[in-house]
Structure formats: structure tokens, C-alpha cells
A and B are shown apart, each in its own frame.
Chain A
């Protein structure tokens, strides 16, 4: 309903909102900026999700692009904030999507290890699934007096440097460096069968006085040198919905995607033929949407998810 119109639900009659609520059975909600900021719930968001589940009978899934926690750790946060989802399988996160993808991929087997340019959560998720990895959460820098030409000759001239590595996985990495970039490029260019995955391609995270590079920036450097694209294991790649689609756990046309980011959440909804609700608790408010017609327009809008409570 209200397809791509950016209709503010607060401008509608109660009956119209009620009709809208009946147009979907399943809800997929984003995490950061939609229902929580780190470990703090956004006002009213938890109450709305729980009410949608218990009073309105909707099935609830949480879907995050945050690759800094394992799926289990995200579930623990959800529980701590009082979100009443039945179990862990109602959470879709990049680290779990990566593990699921590797386990079913024909070129990846248990003799292979994974090189991670990213944080330790990726390694934790891989280890839990019995997959060996190296590099996660670690720095790798040129030592004083070491020239880059000597580093690459020393590190990459032996077959061992790229042997038995079945995938390069990229996530957010505050230790990103030339050495890691060079290692990832060497592994990928030595073996065309090596998989190349990234948790998400968020370009940048904007704070008032500074801009922090997103995972998209790290992976762009590797893609440029390796001359191969990385497979995105987060929104807006419709791939992340595959497990729910293949088990018929939901019907896209009767599923609502709730998020705070147009370029990620609304685009994802469009890519999967789902309905979309944009909340204004992230970077986008309604007037910004009106001023920037190139941004994907959600079906409906609310200043914050908590605004929905009186209607449920």
C-alpha cells in the first residue's frame, strides 16, 4: 500500500493505518538507528515490535548489516533489551550469512581456511561453525626499515602464502593497512576459485565532527587491485533473504521492511518486492527525501518506530 509515496502514517486516519497494518504478516526490522543505538533501545521501539508480535500476530525478524557481532551476540543484545523474538534463527546478520554461504558452496570444504580482513566477530562465527580462519582482529604493518617491495617478495613468493585458502572475507577493520590489502590481493589473484565475500558495502559512517570509513571503502581497495567484485552478504543484496524465501517462511508482498537508511533498507525492500517503512531516527527525515528525488522513496514513513504503538 502507498507504494513509494513516502506517506507519513501520522497524517493518516486511524482506520487507514489499521488497513495498512493488515496488509502484511511478516516484519523484518533493521537494528542500528531503527530499534537501537548500540546497547540502548530507541524509545518505544521494543514495545512496538513486541506488540506487533503478540497483539497483531506478526512474525518478526531482525536484520542487521552490522558485522561487528556474531548472530548469537546480536540475539543476546535483543534479549537484554526485552525484544521477544522466539530464537536466534529470527536474526539475520552478515557473519551468519557468510557461514551459511561457505558451508553450502561447492568450492569450499573443510580443508580450506579463510583469510579475514576484518574484526574478531567474523572469526568467532567461523570458529563456531568449525571453519578455520586467520587475520581477523589483527594488525599487520610494515616494520620500521622494511621496504614494501621486500615485504611482498618475502611474504608472497612462496606457494604457502596462498595455499588452501578457500575464501577472503572482508568486514569492518580498524587495522586496515597496505599489508592486509596486498595479502588479500595476492590470495585472490593467485586463485580464481577463492571466494571473495564482504559483510556489507556501507561507504561511510558520519558523525558530527568526523567521518569514519565503512566496510565498503576497505573492500573497494581490494576489488580495485584484485580486479574482481566481492559478493555482498548484507542488505541491499537480495541474497540475504534467500534462506527465508527457500523455506517459504514469508511472502515478500506481505512482508514489511522497517529501516532508517534509504540506500540500504528501502533499496533492499524494493529488490525483494517487499513493502517499506522508513523511520526518521537515522540519517533521513521526510523533508530530506522530498529534497532529494534520487533517493529511493519508502512506501510509508514515521519519525520513530515508537509512533506506531497507539495503532496496534
Chain B
């Protein structure tokens, strides 16, 4: 409903919003910028999601954040009051490990990232290098002749968020990727990591650096690549036309919705605002149209009165 119009639900009548609530059975929501910002819960989001579950919607979290395993994301969600199970969590670290497993990967992975990735690889029995600091010692000549050790059985390079990103890591990745048979996988390409007051680099910055010196394009696992939701769709667990994607970032969340045939809701508590949507509406670039959500709310919690109304049949 309201396809790519960015209709503000607060401008609709109560009956119109209830009809819209009836138009989907599953809800997939982004986390950073929708449910929480960094460590702080966004007011009203937990109540809204839990009540959507109460009125019969199936709930999924879908995050591009590769620094946590599904178990860690589950704990964070439960601690913040969400009624969610591990199977309801779609994360890029988990999906990356699943991708390699599905392709019968049997070599070793060079990881530029965090334990969020390596623990998920461990869980499916895929060998990998260790994460953490890898700092330059001595001169470049010494590095090249003595300290740089390239392993022989690396079959893939996986790049995600890495606060220990460094020149030695870039050199290793570029060298491994000079073999065209070595896979190049990016967990996601978000340019900035969501933080309330500061602009800080996201995985996209690290991926772009490796893309440049390896002169290769990566397979991108996370949003907006529809592959991240493919298992749910292919196994008929969700029906795309009756699935709502909720997010704060248009070029990952809304675009994922577009790519999968979902309905889309943009909330204003994160990256993109109504002013951005206005620009895309004016733009002549057809790609920008894919970023326009169906509907909009200032924040997810604004949906609560309508859900409660539905749940109680309008009477308390």
C-alpha cells in the first residue's frame, strides 16, 4: 500500500492505519537507528515491536552490523526488552558464514573484522585467521622481507568493521586477492557506523580501501543485497508482498525492501530524513526512486497507539 509515496502514517485516519497494519504478516526491522542508537534504546520501539508480535506478526531483526554474533544480538535485544528468539535474527556475520558453508568452502578465511565474524565461522567449522591488531613494525623494507607472512591456504578474504584496520592488513588482503580464485566478500558497505553525534567510518570505508588496492569487486552479503533474506523467502517462511521492512537508512533498508518486493517503512530516528526523501522525489535518476519508502513515521514508537487499538478492538 502507498507504494513509494513516503506517506506519513500520522497524516492518515485511524482506520487507514489499521487497514495498513492488516496488509502485512511479517515485520523485518533494522536495529541501529530504529530500535536503539549505539547503547541507548529508542523510546517506544520495544513496545511497538512486542505489540506487533502480540497481534500476530512474525518479527525479525536484520542488521548489517558485523561486530556481533546472533547470540550477542539476541542478548542485546532481550536485555532491552524485546520478545525475540535467535532464529528471528538475520545478521551479516551469520549470513557470511552461511554463504561460505552453502558454497562448500573448505579452505581458510583471511578476516579483516571482529570476533562477531570469526565466532560465526567457528560455529560452522570454517577455519580463519585471528582478528585484532596487526601493526606496522620497522621500515617498509623490513616489513616486506621479514614480518609479512602470507599463508598458503587462504581461499577467501572477508572484510567487515575493523577498528584495527591497518596497512599490513591491506597488504595481505591485496596479495591474497591477486589470486582470482580467492573469494572477496564484504559483510556490508555502510559508509558510516551509526553514532548519535559523530561521523565515524563504517565497514564501507574498509571495503572501499580493499576494493581499490585489490582492483576487484566484492560479493556484498548484507543489505541491500536481497540474498540476506533469500532463505526466508525461498523456504516460504515469509511472503514478500505481505512483509514490511522497517529501517532508518534508505540505501540499505528501503532498498533491500525494494529488491525483495517488501513493503517499506522509514523512521526518522537514524540516518535519513524526510528532506532526503524530498530530494529523491525531485531527482531524475531512476535509482533514487528505489530509495523512497512507502510510508514514514518520525519514530517506530508512534505506531503503538494504533497497534494497541487493534489489539483491544478499540476498547480497554
Contact = CB atoms under 8 A, between A and B. Distances in A.
Contacts of A225: 191-192, 199-202, 204-205
Contact of A178 (B165, B171, B195, B208): B165
Contacts of A42: none
B133 interface: yes
Interface string A166-185: 00000001111110011001
Given A139-B136, A142-B133, A148-B163, A203 B200 contact: no
Given A210-B144, A224-B205, A142 B198 contact: no
A312 interface: no
Contact of A213 (B133, B202, B209): B209
A173 B205 CA distance: 16
Interface residues of B, number: 41
A214 interface: yes
Contacts of B191: 224-225, 227
Interface stretch (A8-16, A215-223, A234-242): A215-223
B205 A176 contact: no
A176 B167 contact: yes
A218 B212 CA distance: 9
Contact of B167 (A175, A210, A216, A220): A175
A186 interface: yes
Nearest to B168: A174
Contact of A203 (B135, B148, B162, B212): B212
B163 A204 contact: no
A81 interface: no
A37 B248 CA distance: 52
Interface string A36-80: 000000000000000000000000000000000000000000000
A223 B204 CA distance: 10
Nearest to A210: B175
A221 B143 CA distance: 22
A175 to B, nearest CB: 6
A189 B199 contact: yes
Interface stretch (A26-34, A106-114, A152-160, A291-299): A152-160
Given A185-B199, A204-B215, A176 B192 contact: no
Contacts of A177: 135, 164-167
Contact of A212 (B136, B174, B197, B201): B174
A213 B211 CA distance: 10
Contact of B174 (A181, A185, A204): A204
A211 interface: yes
A151 to B, nearest CB: 8
Contacts of A207: 144
A226 B204 CA distance: 11
B150 interface: yes
B208 A221 contact: yes
B198 A176 contact: no
Interface residues of A, number: 43
Contacts of B150: 209-210
Contacts of B2: none
B213 interface: yes
Nearest to B203: A224
Interface string A81-99: 0000000000000000000
A181 B174 CA distance: 19
Contacts of B209: 213, 217-218, 220-221
B178 interface: yes
A152 B174 contact: no
A288 interface: no
B38 interface: yes
Contact of A217 (B135, B204, B210): B210
A221 B215 contact: no
Interface string B208-235: 1111111100000000000000000000
A175 B174 CA distance: 16
B171 A220 contact: no
Contacts of B212: 203-204, 213-214, 216-217, 220
A178 B163 contact: yes
Nearest to B189: A224
A100 interface: no
Contacts of B208: 220-221, 223-224
Contacts of A104: none
A51 to B, nearest CB: 35
A213 B148 contact: no
Given A173-B167, A212-B174, 5 more contacts: A153-B198, A174-B140, A185-B200, A221-B206, A225-B201
Interface of A: 139, 141-142, 147-149, 151-153, 156-157, 173-178, 181-182, 185-186, 189, 203-204, 206-207, 209-214, 216-218, 220-227
The 9 closest A-B CB pairs, nearest first, are A148-B163, A213-B213, A217-B213, A221-B209, A211-B174, A189-B199, A225-B201, A217-B212, A220-B212
23 contacts: A147-B163, A148-B200, A157-B198, A174-B143, A175-B167, A177-B165, A177-B167, A189-B199, A204-B174, A206-B178, A210-B171, A210-B174, A211-B175, A212-B144, A213-B170, A220-B208, A224-B201, A225-B192, A225-B200, A225-B202, A225-B204, A225-B205, A227-B191
Interface of B: 38, 133, 135-136, 140, 143-144, 148, 150, 162-167, 170-171, 174-175, 177-178, 191-192, 195, 197-202, 204-206, 208-215
